[in-house]
Amino acid sequence: MSDITASERRLSAALDRLDQLLDRPAPQPDHAPGLDNLQARLDAATEQAARLSAANEDLIAANRDLLEAQQTGGIGPDEARAALEAELSALRAARAAEMTQMSEIMAELERLLAEDPPAIDAEPDAAMAQELQGDAGGLPDDGDTPRTEER
């Protein structure tokens, strides 16, 4: 019975060492330069989107003024139609610019996520070396002889 107890202790110790190895976080690669570049591009895209939005708001206000002028007889329907088409064209251009920027950001993120994880060091650290040594592959020690229980 003591052989089983000794084997259980060795097994428990080996499992504890494995748990300690698994609980340690994996080393993370340094993505700071790529992230700084992406942040700068995102800031530029945000600034451009804000400028486009402000320009579109101004265009919408100008078109509303044109429509009011048309209703009072100040301009004809052709001028109002041209103004509305210009507004629609500006909105389409803004959307296309946003889609292009989002595509660039997504492509860069996919590239960063697809990079290979860093290679594990060739030399194991102390905990890994202890686990590799273990108890000689789980074999009983010289003094331990397997016994069978009689029933």
Distance separating alpha carbons of residues 76 and 60, to the nearest angstrom: 18
What pLDDT score does 151 carry? 46
What are the tens digits of pLDDT across the range 17-32? 888 877 777 667 676 7
97: in domain = yes
Considering only CA atoms, which of 8, 2, 22, 1 is closest in space to residue 127? 22
Q: Report how far apart, in Å, the C-alpha atoms of 23 and of each of 13, 26, 40, 92, 145 are.
A: 15, 9, 35, 51, 34
Q: Could you tell me the residue range of the domain that residue 93 belongs to?
A: 53-110
What are the tens digits of pLDDT across the range 56-109? 888 888 878 877 887 887 777 777 787 788 888 888 888 888 888 888 888 888
105: in domain = yes
66: in domain = yes
92: in domain = yes
Q: Residue 111: pLDDT band by 50, 70, 90 thresholds?
A: confident
81: in domain = yes
Average pLDDT of every residue of the chain? 74
* Number of domains making up the chain: 1
Considering only CA atoms, which of 92, 98, 101 is closest in space to residue 59? 92
